[in-house]
Structure 1
Amino acid sequence: MNTSRNTLRDPRTQSNSTAAEMSPVIAHTPAGASAAPNAPWRDWLALGLLMFPVLLIAVDNTALTFALPAIALSLETTGVQLLWIVDAYPLVLAGLLVAMGSLGDRIGRRRLLIIGSIGFAVVSAATAFSPGPEWLIAGRGALGFFGAMLMPSTLSLIRNIFPDPNRRRLAVAIWAAGFSGGAALGPIFGGWLVEHFWWGAVLLVAVPIMVPLLAFGPAFIPESRDPAPGRVDVPSIVLSLLVMVPVVYGIKEIATQGIDAVPLGIIAFGVAMGMAFIRRQQRLASPLLDVSLFRNRVFSTAITANVLALFSFNGFILFLAQHLQLLEGMSPSAAGVAMIPALVATMASGLVVVPLVRKIRPGFVVAGGLAMSASGYCVVAFGNHSSGPALLLGALIILALGVGTAETISNDLILGSVPAEKSGAAAAISETGYEVGSLLGTAVLGSILTASYQHNLRLPAGLADVTSGTAVHSAAETLAAAMELAGTLPAPLADAVRAAAKTAFDSGVHITAAIALVLMAAAAVLAAVVLRKVPTAE
């Protein structure tokens, strides 16, 4: 964890600061980082201001889901348009994270954060009053553009505001807790806004949330940048888009439509562009992304831990949401409320684990978090799901405790294992890992769950005599369609369909959980072995 001490000197110990360096801006000299001796209260105030865009992004990601039915009715969208309203944002966001992180290193991370905040607020306000679905889709894409400026900037600024490893670790824990808290508030907040106002209020709320940052950020958040950034390579930006957009789109298609040649081909194209991107970065004197960062075993293993932590969490949420709503009969908002204790556990574990790394090596803490996630999946894989939601919700809390532990320390390892001037690129890679891990969890575990459900479903005989073949076919494809079909049938037959669908779905959950259990256990071993030599904090 102390690896950063070789690359970044605490600005409060600098004895050769000039009068110009006594400003609240972190200015880099040729020898390294140098900054004004900001009082600790200014650092924590700066962190508080950085939490506003973090909360906004987290709330926006989950709140919009509850506005989709109202959007569909108000704007008379087609199914394809509704899909693009959801997908436009993450596609653009994922494609530009690396480019924006590197741009922040070059032009200044605070400057990029302010530009992104202004753009996000203005576009949110304009999109809230969309006259049609095309306007809303374009607005969501623009929000992805400005959103890509926000998250890497916040994390990289934390790296430079808190050069001391112990204080930085707590700041990262607060950052992660804010993101988790926003995700918990999103469904409740979004549902309340749609119910009491209109769907545009979910987007319009970005304006007041950004006001504190825009009003006080320039005065209290110190600027930082790479002292020798080099020029911006436009072809590299284009290549990074051609890598991430096809890969993310292909994964989302597999998650929603199943494995098919088209999304696999799209992913293959993205991988090919990735190889071209890497070769170009290796040739450039000032690359958009310093791929040598991945040669650092601490950095690359911490990124892997982040990806797998989000993989496990989002994969779990995927089948838990279906179980609560379709098998337990909960409304979407009630299911969201039922998951809040687990999200609180994520926040709490991230904060509690900070002092733990003073006594236990960080690598073992990360490994312990991943092992806890594995134990949550173990409860699901070998437990009885028919006794109500308590077992699955309890397993989610165990999983959440593990994710909060692992991602807090792994994020700190990511920031601490790179030079301060590369923190923007490192933060962008970490954020990209979040996106990819979330998508993979949904796509991979979701595909396995769907395939297992379809293979194990045994619908009762005689359905073709009382309903259409299309309805029977749809019921054989998804649990939702089976439950919808059961609602149209007479009681004995309806009960038989529900029982068959529940049995098939539960068998799929057992298989999916067992696979995830093995992956999480392997990740825990990897973290323990590779990160075992990272020293404890002082």
Structure 2
Amino acid sequence: MGLAVLALPTILIGLDMSVLHLAAPELSESLRPSSAQLLWIVDIYGFLVASFLATMGTLGDRIGRRKLLLIGAAAFAAASLLAAYATGAAMLIAARALLGIAGATLMPSTLSLISNIFRDPNQRRFAIAVWMTNFSVGGMIGPIVGGVLLEHFWWGSVFLVGVPVGVILLIVGPVLLPEYRDPQPGRLDPLSVVLSIVTVLPVVYGFKQVAQDGVRATSLLAVALGVVFGGVFVRRQLRITNPMLDLRLFSRPGFSVALGGQTMGLFVVTGTQFLVLQYFQLVLGLSPLAAGLWALPAMVAGVVGTLLAPAAAAKLHPGRVMAGGFALAVPGLLLISLAGPVSGFALTVIGFAVLSFGVQAALALTNDVIISSAPPERAGNASGLGETGAELGNALGVAAFGSVATAFYGARMIGDALPEGVRPELADLARSTLAGATEAAGRLPDAVGDEMLATARAAFTGGMHASALCGVGILVLLTLASLNLARRSLDDAAGTAKDVTGTEPDKTAKRDEVNGDPPVEAGTGRGAPPGRRSPD
């Protein structure tokens, strides 16, 4: 019952990310926002979620994770009402900002509470898999729920979904959810909070701008500014007595490999999805609805992979299962890299589904390893770092894959690649993006327009191929890192058990050793010392 309660906010967050895109046309007609205001309405939520995740994860360790979850639920419900009845673009931007801050309290709170409620390793892995699945469920039902609401009500109705969820959490949360907090939390450092926000926000903003407008001086300056503040933040965390983020967690191989796998796995999946959906619409000519429906096999495959991984991890070392997931995803990207500008539909649908299955299976375990690597009192801190990595992976993946594809596209469209007789302004439009080429082709005679469009589609497909091959390299590195984690953990377990008993350890002891904590001593039933929790 507690897991069912914790599933509600994750479904809500997944749903909230998708319904706004459907409401954007009606919202624009009603509030008349400028183009810049509309971008902020869409993006401010994600910016502030990413910026506040680490802060909220640490705050939950200090004041109590259930308390923070309930505060966040109340704030999310109130901000949803404010957004639904916004009377202007500025008011809606402010409401979306509050939704982002409130949303940042929900994810680390739910994940860290799961890690405390489910102490059995197999139950915990399955619970985290269910938790991850709910994001996909929310994303899948979002267009359906949003479409029904917009069919019968005004644009603000899509935000009201958050109100009953917040009310339910406030009613049943105190009854079904236990409270956990760090018994010795120390003082919260306000300067660290500010530094964490000004580190993440410019980086996410900069990479989103790269994905939208290409590489510009302003986007590079934003990323550089975030990196500088990040250096100051890290230096402060290493020097103060009570750091906001315990950077010592990175010394644990399980934590570092799992966090890197989560960030870069989402980097590859999100970047690929960004290009595949454009490929469906702009190259193969599918409608937005059809493109979305043909992306459903990948979402379903991801859910299946997420739910199967915990069962595999009950018999194999989690590092090996993670490695298997990343390795299985490689053929999916290779299939996408073979798709052509005319006949690549089946290859892309199958390849994207294989990629989603493999990566999501690996990610089902990265969250568990991230949380179990940390002492129980620092679970919120660890989950906040994990969610921050996930948000950065999403933002960086779209920007990086989009930039690779854009660079390849531009290189293929220069010189005499375009047909003769195309006016300079139309040629410039065609060289900018595939969408621009489609628009320019509509202003040209049929034969010339068709020739230019064929060239542009081939150039975009080549850019998608290049991005897919870059993703293959990343997945191979993640596979090797996960295998190395499994090997090191099993070697450490073997050495520890042999030192204690004078005999070789059994396979269970080997599998239990993920993050450097000692396994259960043979014949004693004793495990990790007080204050430290073995992952199994």
Match of 1:524 in 2: 479
Supply the distance in 2 between the matched residues of 1:369 and 1:188 (Cα, whole angstroms).
30
Contact 1:109 1:424 in 2 (8 A): yes
Aligned pair in 2 of structure 1 residues 470, 193: CA closer, same or farther (>3 Å)? farther
1:388 CA drift (Å): 4.5
TM-score scaled by length of structure 1: 0.89
Supply the distance in 1 between the matched residues of 2:147 and 2:444 (Cα, whole angstroms).
31
The one-letter amino acid of 1:237's match is V
The one-letter amino acid of 2:156's match is G
The one-letter amino acid of 2:511's match is T
Contact 1:97 1:432 in 2 (8 A): yes
1:70 aligns with 2:26: yes
The one-letter amino acid of 2:422's match is L
Match of 2:255 in 1: 299
1:459 CA drift (Å): 2.0
1:515 to 442, 467, 470: 470
Match of 2:169 in 1: 213
Residue-by-residue CA offset, 1:24-44 (whole Å, 9 max, x unaligned): xxxxxxxxxxxxxxxxxxxxx
1:185 CA drift (Å): 2.0
Match of 2:427 in 1: 472
1:536 aligns with 2:536: no
CA RMSD across the alignment: 1.4
Supply the distance in 1 between the matched residues of 2:312 and 2:511 (Cα, whole angstroms).
9
Contact 2:85 2:156 in 1 (8 A): yes
Supply the distance in 2 between the matched residues of 1:515 and 1:117 (Cα, whole angstroms).
40
The one-letter amino acid of 1:475's match is A
Supply the distance in 1 between the matched residues of 2:410 and 2:28 (Cα, whole angstroms).
30
The one-letter amino acid of 2:251's match is R
Match of 2:216 in 1: 260
Contact 2:309 2:362 in 1 (8 A): no
Contact 2:336 2:352 in 1 (8 A): no
Supply the distance in 2 between the matched residues of 1:350 and 1:168 (Cα, whole angstroms).
13
Supply the distance in 1 between the matched residues of 2:486 and 2:377 (Cα, whole angstroms).
23
TM-score scaled by length of structure 2: 0.89
**What number of residue pairs does the alignment pair up?**
490
1:293 CA drift (Å): 0.7
Q: Secondary structure of the residue that 2:180 maps to in structure 1?
A: coil
Contact 1:363 1:533 in 2 (8 A): no
Matches within 5 A, 1:108-123: 108-123=64-79
The one-letter amino acid of 1:324's match is F
Match of 2:37 in 1: 81
Contact 1:325 1:332 in 2 (8 A): yes
Contact 1:375 1:399 in 2 (8 A): yes
Q: Secondary structure of the residue that 2:511 maps to in structure 1?
A: coil
Task: Tell me whether 125-134 or 109-118 shows the greater mean CA deviation.
Answer: 125-134
Supply the distance in 1 between the matched residues of 2:433 and 2:145 (Cα, whole angstroms).
29
Residue-by-residue CA offset, 1:324-352 (whole Å, 9 max, x unaligned): 11222222222212111211111111111
Unpaired runs of at least 5, structure 2: 490-509, 513-535
Q: Secondary structure of the residue that 1:228 maps to in structure 2?
A: coil
Residue-by-residue CA offset, 1:286-315 (whole Å, 9 max, x unaligned): 111111111111101100000111011111
Identity %: 43
1:407 CA drift (Å): 0.5
Supply the distance in 2 between the matched residues of 1:84 and 1:163 (Cα, whole angstroms).
41
1:349 aligns with 2:305: yes
Supply the distance in 2 between the matched residues of 1:106 and 1:280 (Cα, whole angstroms).
19
The one-letter amino acid of 1:331's match is S
Match of 1:489 in 2: 444
1:229 CA drift (Å): 0.5
Match of 1:272 in 2: 228
Matches within 5 A, 1:98-137: 98-137=54-93
1:417 to 373, 378, 381: 373
Q: Secondary structure of the residue that 1:314 maps to in structure 2?
A: helix
Supply the distance in 1 between the matched residues of 2:227 and 2:344 (Cα, whole angstroms).
43
Match of 1:39 in 2: none
Q: Secondary structure of the residue that 2:22 maps to in structure 1?
A: helix
Matches within 5 A, 1:283-362: 283-362=239-318
Aligned pair in 2 of structure 1 residues 328, 195: CA closer, same or farther (>3 Å)? farther
Supply the distance in 1 between the matched residues of 2:74 and 2:425 (Cα, whole angstroms).
49
Match of 2:419 in 1: 460
Supply the distance in 2 between the matched residues of 1:154 and 1:521 (Cα, whole angstroms).
31
Contact 1:123 1:142 in 2 (8 A): yes
Residue-by-residue CA offset, 1:18-70 (whole Å, 9 max, x unaligned): xxxxxxxxxxxxxxxxxxxxxxxxxxx00100000000011111221222222
Matches within 5 A, 1:147-162: 147-162=103-118
